[in-house]
Structure 1
Amino acid sequence: MLAGWVLNLTPGPDVLYIISRSLRGGRRAGFAAIAGISAGCLVHVALASLGLGMLLATSATLFSAIKWIGAAYLLWVGVRLLRSKGGPDTLQEGVDATSGGAGSWWQVFAGGFLTNVLNPKVVLFFLAFLPQFIAPSVQNKPLAFAMLGLIFTVNALPITSMYVLLADRMRTSRWAARGMQWLDKVAGVLFIGFGVRLAMSARPMP
């Protein structure tokens, strides 16, 4: 759990998505983003538990295909954020930068899910991280792996919820009201950077 918290504090596309959604749509949008990202993590855990994650780790073609799709999605999100007009939003009046249209909790959830599930390095992370906490004497290792993945996902909720609450509090400040346009530009640049970094990444050796 401590190792998971340290990793959850590390900024990445998921954290940036949660913070940006919370600043624009409040805590309910932030928690919708958390739900989408958590669902994506559970997909990766399930794939790794079933052995499909190992196929991804050993197949350069499959890894490259998912990598390029994920990188293209992150770049698209970044461009949409750069083109956004900014300004605070609500559920009815918000503009979801990941969809380019009227925002909804489902769109926020879907955006978080895609941000996570289209990153093939997440499943490789689980394959490298979780087995370290499985005792050699455990007989049903896939079940132990799945349980550890579930614990890791649930364990992240206090950290991600903290991001949501802090961002929601910041959105009521004068700085947030005046700086929302700059926030979109900075977030857009960061998402583009994450997309480029993913596109440039090489498949880890199995």
Structure 2
Amino acid sequence: MSFWPEFLLIATVHLMAVASPGPDFAIVLRYAVRYGRQQALAASIGIGIAILLHVTWSLVGIAVLIQTTPWVFKALSFAAAVYLAYIGVQALQSKAPAHPEQTIAAGDSDTVPSAKKAFIAGFITNGLNPKATLFFLSLFAVIISPLTPLSYKIIYGVYMAVATAAWFCMLSVLLTHTKVRAFLLLKGYWFDRIMGLLLLALAMHLLVSSFSN
């Protein structure tokens, strides 16, 4: 079995998937806008680590159980939708800074969550995403050959986790650049509200698409 052709195909498919807007992007954008670089980076790493969860499920066959047992998939979908809706409602409550000048000088005055909490938020957002589970199930069942050694599959999984974290970390750094950060601190509450609407829409779409099947 040739390693590089399969690896390049997986890397390409994964890049298209991770670059498309979704719950992960919304969470990173919200944390970058509202809380700053450290929290956005922590959330990005959490998202990347959660990839290993999906890879593990796919390798040990739990993803097959989720796909073949409808109520398990629906339960996971419901949990993910509730969590996204909860974050969305919080984002919709964002307000304009009372003292813009002080906000730019000192940063966002809101209570900033710890890096640990940001990491957990990123991990849960990705880990509870059933669409991500099905994506990796399809990846391991269709694109990756059954003849591919387990060691190669583990390498693929680690790569996708690292690549995902790197992508969102790069996005976090870009969004928290000094000038971008200053602008977002003044107008970021609008982005926060838009992300709130997006998260609520994603939660609703997740419920409708899962329970209509």
- The TM-score with structure 1 as length reference comes to 0.84
The corresponding residue for 2:91 is: 81
The corresponding residue for 1:110 is: 120
1:107 maps to a residue whose letter is K
1:172 maps to a residue whose letter is R
Structure 1 residue 159 corresponds to structure 2 residue 167:
yes
Aligned 8 A contact 1:18 1:164 in 2: yes
Q: CA deviation at 1:26?
A: 2.0
The corresponding residue for 2:144 is: 134
Aligned 8 A contact 2:49 2:165 in 1: no
- Unaligned stretches of 5+ residues in structure 1: 96-101
The corresponding residue for 1:15 is: 25
- Name which of structure 1's ranges 68-77 and 39-48 shifts more when overlaid on structure 2: 39-48
Aligned 8 A contact 1:68 1:199 in 2: yes
The corresponding residue for 2:82 is: 72
> Deviations 1:14-63 (Å, cap 9, x if unpaired)?
01111211122222111100111122211111111111111011110101
Structure 1 residue runs of 4+, over 4 Å off? Answer: 86-93
- Among candidates 107, 130, 136, match of residue 120 of structure 1: 130
Q: Distance in 2 between matches of 1:153 and 1:61?
A: 28
- Name which of structure 1's ranges 11-20 and 79-88 shifts more when overlaid on structure 2: 79-88
Aligned 8 A contact 1:74 1:191 in 2: yes
- Among candidates 51, 54, 63, match of residue 41 of structure 1: 51
- Among candidates 184, 191, 199, match of residue 191 of structure 1: 199
Instruction: Pick the structure with greater CA Rg.
Output: 2
- The TM-score with structure 2 as length reference comes to 0.81
3-state SS of 1:124 partner = helix
Q: Structure 1 vs Structure 2: percent identity of aligned residues? A: 27
> Deviations 1:146-186 (Å, cap 9, x if unpaired)?
3322211112233222211111025433x323212212211
Aligned 8 A contact 2:108 2:185 in 1: no
Structure 1 residue 172 corresponds to structure 2 residue 181:
yes
- Relative to structure 1, the CA distance from residue 118 to residue 127 in structure 2 (aligned partners, 3 Å threshold; closer, same or farther) is same
- Relative to structure 1, the CA distance from residue 40 to residue 86 in structure 2 (aligned partners, 3 Å threshold; closer, same or farther) is farther
Higher relative contact order (CA 8 A, sep 6+): 2
3-state SS of 1:172 partner = helix
Q: How many residues align?
A: 196
Aligned 8 A contact 1:29 1:108 in 2: yes
> Deviations 1:108-165 (Å, cap 9, x if unpaired)?
1111111111112211110112344433433x45x44333222111122332222111
